[in-house]
Amino acid sequence: MSKHARLDAVVELTTSIPCAPLILPKLQRSLLGSYVTTQELQSIIELDPGLATSVLRMANSAYFARDQKCESIANAILRLGTAALSRLTVTSQAGNWLNQPVKGYGWEHGDLCRHSLCVAVTAEVLSMSGGVVDPGVAYTAGLIHDVGKLALAYANSEGLDEVSKLVPAPYPTWEDAEKAVLGYCSADVSGKLLQRWGLPPALVEVATYYLHPSCASAENLALVTTVHAAKSIATELGYGVGMDGFYFEVDEDALTKLDFTEEKLQACVPAIVERMDDVVSPDGVIKALS
Amino acid sequence: MVIGVADMKVSSEPEEVLVTYALGSCLGITLHDPGKCIGGLLHLMLPDSKSHGRSSPRPAMFLDTGLPLLLETMLDAGADRHALRCKVFGGAQLLSADNFFRIGAQNIDACYKVTAALGLRVQVWEVSGRVNRTIRLFNRTGEVHVRVPARPEFVR
């Protein structure tokens, strides 16, 4: 029996994902202003994995949900309206997760946010050139794909310290070591969290299978594979990559089936960096939040 | 002085510290003239500008255009070419993939060729592996301080 928190317990502990402290005053100023466009709200919310998750979660809750699940931030904002978004930001502010340092993955302040932003931007750029996946959904999926790591780092950082000592030997991947120590991995936590919060199946599948896109359903295979490719490129580019970052296996079969090649992926790198320059300054500060 | 991704800067201020964050598979290349305390740092992403079709508005993005530019800027700033010390960092790699995501290895291979072609003798190769490196070049000493996640900082 593992001495560490069980998967259900980690999910249970996670009542909300906090958003970056700096984002809230800016968002609330926008919401209180005389006129704010959906695009302006979207540009703020899309910078933060925690807030993006909360917005999607509320838009897909029983109170707001309609027949159609909400897969993009733009649709979620339209569905919620500014009054509900205001309440949401106050609730997020009450979250206590970031009152203590986040340990376990060797992150410095803001690393998960920078990395998630780069995966989001990369997924969007790849989907724009591929034409198979909706770019807005790809961005959203990239932004929230790793929320389980935040939950795990909060609930079980001692377990992650133990995991870090087992990579690369005897376990070649961080996922293998997490499963050996904890009995589950961060992707399991991400998937369970998003499922519990009522997010669309496509986003749940991305969170659960982005390390192994071949395991995704046929319906969501292209989206999950796109995020897998984006994750790999974002890791190579280094934005916010922690000690676990490089220790995962590339699913070459899935990439090949979606007609990705190394040349095609590398050709997207300049566009990705130009987009990242718009949101992250050279010293790592997320521009729109400063 | 912060050097962003696909960027390059040179300083002749002895107390200056040049820093670039989170190299990943990119390379951070430092040139330093110890006698004149002139230092330069390049954060490049890809080996070959020619494989990207059009001429890049950002030569520092590529090794084949960025390193000659760094060298030229160092010489313009008054550095002695024969005194230059070159150090190379980064080039981290994902777990082995036969056909994808080999930017780190490609950058390192190309760097051996380009530094040789430019007549630069590389003193330090702190490359490859599966770590994300942040580096700081201290102009006074030429020391480069390397930081990786959850490990003590070290000097090269």
Q: Residues of chain A whose C-beta is under 8 A from some C-beta in B?
A: 105-108, 114, 164, 168, 172-173, 232-233, 235-243, 245-250, 252, 255-256, 260-263, 265-267, 269-270, 273, 276-277, 281-284
- Per-residue confidence (pLDDT) for residue A6, from 0 to 100: 82
B2 falls within a domain: no
**Closest-CA residue in chain B for A268?**
B52
pLDDT score of A73 more than 60: yes
Candidates B3, B5, B131; nearest CB to A273: B5
Instruction: List, for residues A231-242, the tens digit of each pLDDT value.
Output: 999 999 999 899
- Per-residue confidence (pLDDT) for residue A97, from 0 to 100: 43
pLDDT score of A173 more than 80: yes
Average pLDDT, chain B: 94
B51 three-state secondary structure: helix
Residues of chain A above pLDDT 70, percent: 81
- Per-residue confidence (pLDDT) for residue A114, from 0 to 100: 86
Delimiting residues of CATH 1.10.3210.10 domain(s) in chain A: 100-289
Residue A217 to chain B, least CA–CA distance (Å): 23
- Per-residue confidence (pLDDT) for residue B70, from 0 to 100: 98
How many distinct structural domains can be found in chain B? 1
Instruction: List, for residues A123-136, the tens digit of each pLDDT value.
Output: 999 998 877 898 88
pLDDT, mean of residues A261-288:
86
Class of domain A100-289: mainly alpha
Residue A124 to chain B, least CA–CA distance (Å): 18
Half-sphere exposure of A286 (CA within 13 A, CB side): 26
Instruction: List, for residues A84-110, the tens digit of each pLDDT value.
Output: 776 666 555 433 343 345 677 888 877
Structural domain for B11, as ranges: 7-149
Q: Is pLDDT larger for residue A20 or for residue A205? A: A205
The domain that holds B23 is classified in CATH as 3.30.1330.200
CA distance A286 to A282: 9
B155 falls within a domain: no
Q: Do B51 and A107 touch (CB under 8 A)?
A: no
- Per-residue confidence (pLDDT) for residue A105, from 0 to 100: 86
pLDDT score of A32 more than 60: no
Residue partners of A241: CB distance under 8 A and separation at least 6: A111, A115, A234, A235, B22, B24, B132, B149
- Per-residue confidence (pLDDT) for residue A272, from 0 to 100: 93
DSSP B62-118: BHHHHHHHHHHHHHHTT--GGG-EEEEEE---PSP-SSS--HHHHHHHHHHHHHHHT
B106 falls within a domain: yes
Q: Do A269 and B46 touch (CB under 8 A)?
A: yes
Q: Do A262 and B61 touch (CB under 8 A)?
A: no
Least confident of A8-22, A44-58, B42-56, B138-152: A8-22
Q: Could you tell me the pLDDT band of residue B95, with boundaries at 50, 70 and 90?
A: confident
B107 falls within a domain: yes
- Per-residue confidence (pLDDT) for residue A36, from 0 to 100: 67
Q: Could you tell me the pLDDT band of residue A1, with boundaries at 50, 70 and 90?
A: very low
Q: Do B24 and A235 touch (CB under 8 A)?
A: yes
Q: Could you tell me the pLDDT band of residue B27, with boundaries at 50, 70 and 90?
A: very high
pLDDT score of A35 more than 80: no
- Per-residue confidence (pLDDT) for residue B84, from 0 to 100: 97
pLDDT, mean of residues B51-80:
89
Backbone phi, psi, residue B46, to 5° = -135, 155
B155 three-state secondary structure: strand
- Per-residue confidence (pLDDT) for residue A161, from 0 to 100: 87
Q: Do A282 and B3 touch (CB under 8 A)?
A: yes
pLDDT, mean of residues B90-110:
90
